[in-house]
A and B are shown apart, each in its own frame.
Chain A
Amino acid sequence: MTIYLDNAATTRPDPAVVAVIVAAMRASHGNASSVHGSGVRAAMALERARATISARLGCRSDELVFTSGGTESNNLALKGVAARQAARGGGRIVTTRIEHPSVARPVEWLGEQGFEPEFLQVDDRGFVDPDDLRKALRRKTAIVSIAQGNGEVGTIQAIAELGAICRAAGALFHVDASQSYTKVPVDVDAGSVDLLTISAHKIHGPLGVGALYFRRGVALDPLLHGGGHEGGLRSGSSNVPGIAGFGKAVEIAGDAGVAEMARLRDRFIGEVRERISGVLLNGPTGEHRLCNNINLCIDGVEGRTLQADLSRRGIAISTGSACSSTVRTPSEVLTAMGLDEQKAHTAVRITLSKWTTEAELDQALAAIEETVERERGR
């Protein structure tokens, strides 16, 4: 049985979610755009999920567009807003140096299209300095995009404060909440958030489903043109079973097990530092860190060696974000936080879920200890 400690990459679907998906595939197999009974039942599954998710976000149901996941939501937010701004002569797009590639690459691409990107520096724990944002917004800016919780090192940004700065400067504020949704409260009004990305598979829902919240009045162009689904913002027949599963995942999320995950996280960090020398914790501690995130550099052991060794023992961890873990370049996030390339190559990420147990973490720690001893003894 695998000990799965890569929950920032994806989580195991909850059985209750799987049941809803299967039921939707059997009973709601109509196209949610058809007006006959089957279509209406499919549309009901869609609208039930929309109502559940919008209620948790505290937004109107027509302020939510379903997408294929976090990457599409981030692309839609950035390119959708930029397309409207292009007619007004482009403008600046501000983000940070530690964003997920689905934010960083679109911002770079928009730079090639005539926009002016700015990547804010972060400190050694991954925090954006609000004053840096304030300074960046002295010049007219179309949109600012900052993740609420960083997927690699778990840094939780002060979204309400950053949002207020954007609001005062007249810039739209997009928040990628893919990693933090249900784990960190988000109030789209209090945070002055104009657009917000969420993803189903990070919260025990299915892969391939996400959503973008967009405040009423925010003008967006679609990425996909076609039949005009989702209010014209996302053409393509809706993934009804997946979206129904997303709704169920949100419905049962509750407090997401945050307190227990944070306890296990801190216990593990304490133990690993006590038992292994030369361990550096990347990212902040306590309430400013995602409850399920542990990111460590261990002297003398390459992250990929440790990851491969644990994998052979049935323990799944990662060396960075899932999307970049096959690339041999060091983590952009860690180098932005000041780590040199050699140090960054020693990083491993261990991420918990609501099902992670003390016993599993103890087994992982014992395996890490063995690998470290062997590697250092060479």
Chain B
Amino acid sequence: MSELKADEEIDLTGVPCPQNAARALLRLETMETGELLRIVIDDGEPIEQVPNSVTEEGHALRRRDQLGDGRWVLFIEVA
């Protein structure tokens, strides 16, 4: 799997739904089309909801990886 290089990062650990998705989308609004945002979110409801929320707005989920501590890393490409 090729390495993805994020243009920006946001750590949403501990931020509940749907605030985490809202903060991710607000950050994506400030970025250019084609740029990559790296998002760290918790396991459980966040990994079930956040990818849906950002892709519903047209952004593309490029990759998702689970970290050793259970959290998830998402790479989102700005629409």
Contact = CB atoms under 8 A, between A and B. Distances in A.
Please say whether chains A and B are actual partners in one complex: yes
Name the residue among A47, A48, A62 with the largest chain B CB count within 10 angstroms.
Answer: A47
Contact of A43 (B21, B45, B56): B21
B56 A35 contact: no
Interface stretch (B1-9, B22-30, B36-44, B59-67): B22-30
A37 B22 contact: no
A48 B26 contact: yes
B33 interface: no
Interface residues of A, number: 15
A44 B49 contact: no
Interface string A11-40: 000000000000000000000111101011
A40 B18 contact: yes
B17 A44 contact: no
Interface residues of B, number: 13
B contacts with A: majority SS: helix
Interface in B40-58: 45, 49, 53, 56
B17 A35 contact: yes
A113 B22 CA distance: 41
Contacts of A39: 18
Contacts of A40: 18, 21-22, 25, 53
Given A35-B17, A37-B56, A43 B22 contact: yes
A74 B79 CA distance: 43
A51 interface: yes
Given A34-B18, A37-B56, A51-B26, 14 more contacts: A32-B18, A32-B19, A32-B22, A37-B53, A40-B18, A40-B21, A43-B18, A43-B22, A44-B22, A46-B22, A47-B19, A47-B23, A47-B26, A61-B23
Interface of A: 32-35, 37, 39-40, 43-44, 46-48, 51, 61-62
